[in-house]
Amino acid sequence: MKKISKFSGAYRFLSNFFPSQMLIDGEFYDTVEHAYQAAKTDDPEKKKEIREAFSAGKAKKLGQRAELVEGWEEKKFEVMERLVREKFKQNQKIAMELAATGDKQLIEGNTWGDTIWGVCGGVGENNLGKILMRVRDELNTQ
Q: What percent of the chain has pLDDT over 70?
A: 99
Could you read off the pLDDT of 66-125 as tens digits, one per residue?
999 999 999 999 999 999 999 999 999 999 999 999 999 999 999 999 999 999 999 999
Whole-prediction pTM value? 0.95
Q: At what angle do helices 32-39 and 56-64 cross, to 10 degrees?
A: 10
CA nearest neighbour of 36 among 65, 14, 12, 56: 56
- Max Cα-Cα span within the chain: 46
Domain hosting residue 79, numbered range? 3-140
- What stretch of H or E contains 105? strand 105-106
142: pLDDT strictly greater than 80: no
Q: Tell me the C-alpha distance between 42 and 72, whole Å.
A: 11
CATH of the domain at 78: 1.10.357.40
